Amino acid sequence: MVSVRHFEFICRAHDIEPTVDKFRVLYQLIRNMGFYSFGNREAANKILLNPPKSFQEWKQKFFFIREEVMPIAIIFRAPDTIDKEGLAIPKKENWYVRLTATPNRVFGENVLVAAQMSDQWPEDSTEVPVLKFQDREAHQQAAFPTFGGSMSSRPLESREPFWYKHIKGNFLYPPARSFANPPTATEGAHIPNPRPL
């Protein structure tokens, strides 16, 4: 998740649309001690410096979903099925050159809002977040305090869309009808247990 979020943040900071294809240029699926994760592709640039070695108290944020409520069978991939296809490295493409290595950092909510990666911004807010340098507003997508900037906000201009609309487009929300008939404890009871893989 750190690799994915860092990739998205760097892309949005440079006004680059983050896509799966771009991510695959930089990372590949790896298996380590029975767990799958993303590892750097050897030939690609490294964009994440100092990734965390572990997460404390992760069990408080981990949960299981009973297989009976899953409408599909989940297939566990064997290590030899991991795709290590040699994708071409677009070394001269503009987006690739601009994604330079940056350290792993924990940003505050204001920076995530500016990068359009937060769902905490009020839907009807009449303000827009901005990065300010010496009282000059610079309409940036992200703010790094080490660059001497500070986060602020400004009023919406005439006919300017709410900032929430910019943010919402970057999240995949399930449609309301998905919650109309939530799964019950008996759903999937006809499926053998344990489910064959």
Is residue 112, in this structure, part of any structural domain at all? no
Q: Which domain holds residue 155?
A: 118-190
Whether residue 4 sits in one domain with residue 97 = yes
**Helical residues (DSSP H) of the chain, grouped into ranges:** 2-13, 20-26, 94-98, 109-114, 163-168
Cα–Cα distance for residue pair 123/134, rounded to 1 Å: 29
Judge if 94 and 122 occupy the same domain: no
pLDDT tens track for 36-85: 888 898 889 999 998 888 778 877 877 777 766 666 666 666 766 666 66
> Per the structure block, which two tokens stand in for 172?
């995949």
> In angstroms, rounded to a whole number, what is the distance separating the alpha carbons of residues 47 and 98?
10
Q: Which of 79, 106, 133 is the last residue of a domain?
A: 106
73 in the same domain as 141: no
In this prediction the pTM is 0.69
User: Of 93, 129, 94, nearest to 110 (Cα)?
Assistant: 129
Residue finishing a domain among 60, 84, 106:
106
Interatomic CA distance for residues 62 and 57, integer angstroms: 9
Statement to judge: residues 92 and 35 lie in one domain: yes
Task: Tell me phi and psi for residue 111, to 5 degrees.
Answer: -70, -40
In a domain, 195, yes or no: no
